[in-house]
Amino acid sequence: MRRVWVAVLAALSVLGTSGVAQAHHEVGGRSTLAAVTPIVTADQATRSVYVLDAERTRWSAEGPGGGVLWSWRADGRADLADLRPGSSWTNPSEVKLREMDGRRYLLTTASGGLAAVVRYPEGTAYWAADTGSGNAHSIELLPDGNVAVAASKGEYVRLYAASRSTRATEYTQVALAGAHGVHWDPRNELLWALGDRELVALAVGGTADYPALTVVHRRALPTRGGHDLAPVLASPGRLWVTTSSAVYQYATSERQFVSYPLQSRVSGRSVKSVGDDPVTGQVLVARPEAGNPCVWCTSTLTLYQPDGTRTLLRGGMYKARWWSPYRS
């Protein structure tokens, strides 16, 4: 049905615990309530995570009314003081929304070493750790409550026994050169991890208290510099894979890289994150912009089909994702 959007009301700024902003539109002469998937980003300029109103083209984190629906930062939090966020929360990088046992969580890491699973919208930590100087770059929450962390300089994928306690530090790990991304695949019950030169699948064994990891599959990347790893929500069973020079999709059943719509437009150099909106299929890309004070950051995100941009004023965004929990 052809839709004519007549009005977008102020209700766009309301974000419920469902994690989806609600916007009133007039469709075919009657009012209806449409779901708009927000965008979450790690902003290194302000050391903050922002959930942003995706219907706006410009955001400001300075004062109310700027399109920020929810925000979080480790700085100044009493429940994280023991992890020294002044240093461990340097350069926040990863942001994801996940669900477990009917609750929603922000997953986040920072280059300074902090890795955290944060209850949404309360903001308190389900689990957090200072992983050290290995450059924690990605994080994933497993169904049993344990947490995987990929560290690029540490060259490892760790699986923390986070289900034990909020500060559990026990872990098992596998080596992975240039580890940058990690993603739990519920369809195949595998933990996928992306390194500098390869994509690997890890089987999780042992128990929740004493987990184990085993590499069961390796696939060389078409080009070097693996960076972002995320599910393709429009095509279950596929993964987004970015490298220093391109953006690919990987079919987990066929165990091969495959072509995809918009590839000639989406693919490019230095993409820090990529993903598709589960509601509309719109693709969201974060890549560095020239002239930003942070050379690996951007103030503007790019959207494809429909095309557009979204700008955080004075922003230094690293990764950005649709604020939607992954489901198989």
pLDDT digits (tens, 9 = 90+) for 194-234: 999 999 999 999 999 999 999 999 999 999 999 999 999 99
Q: What distance in Å separates the CA atoms of residue 200 and residue 194, rounded to the nearest whole number?
A: 6
Mean pLDDT of 120-127: 98
Q: What is the pLDDT of residue 36?
A: 85
14 pLDDT exceeds 70? Answer: no
Residue 183: its H or E element:
strand 181-185
Q: Comparing 171-175, 236-240, 322-326, which segment has the lowest mean pLDDT?
A: 322-326
Confidence (pLDDT) at 326: 77
Helix H, strand E, coil C: the string for 62-115 is: CCCCCCEEEEECCCCCHHHHHHCHHHHCCCEEEEEEEEECCEEEEEEEECCCEE
| pLDDT confidence of residue 6 | 28
Residues 6+ apart with CB under 8 A from 259: 249
Q: Where is pLDDT greater, at 230 or 7?
A: 230
Which two three-digit tokens encode residue 320? 């950005």
Bigger pLDDT: 190 or 63?
190
Mean predicted confidence (pLDDT) in 3-24 = 37
Tokens of 311: 């700008």
Tokens of 91: 């350069």
Average pLDDT, the chain: 91
Instruction: Tell me the mean pLDDT in the region 123-144.
Output: 98
The helix (run of H) or strand (run of E) holding residue 263 is: helix 263-266
d(C-alpha 57, C-alpha 48), whole Å? 20
| Residue 18 pLDDT class (50, 70, 90 cuts) | very low
Residues 6 or more apart in contact with residue 5 via CB below 8 angstroms: 25, 26, 27
Q: How far is Cα 23 from Cα 10, in angstroms, rounded to an integer?
A: 8
Q: Please name the helix (run of DSSP H) or strand (run of DSSP E) that holds residue 222, with its range, or none.
A: none
Q: CA-to-CA distance for 114 and 165, rounded, in angstroms?
A: 16
**Residue with more model confidence, 12 or 237:** 237
| Cα 235 to Cα 232: distance, rounded to the nearest angstrom | 5
Q: State percent of the chain over pLDDT 70.
A: 89
What single-letter DSSP state applies at residue 3?
Answer: -
- Tell me the two tokens of residue 7: 């009005």
**Please, which residues bridge with residue 183 across strands?**
192
pLDDT higher than 90, residue 67: yes
CB-based contact 300:310 (threshold 8 Å):
yes
State mean pLDDT over 256-266.
Answer: 97
- C-alpha to C-alpha distance for 184 and 139, rounded to whole angstroms: 10
pLDDT of residue 94: 98
pLDDT of residue 32: 34
pLDDT tens readout for residues 91-105: 999 999 999 999 999
Q: How confident is the model at residue 327 (pLDDT cuts 50, 70, 90)?
A: low
Domains of the chain: residue spans and CATH:
1-36 (no CATH), 39-322 (2.130.10.10)
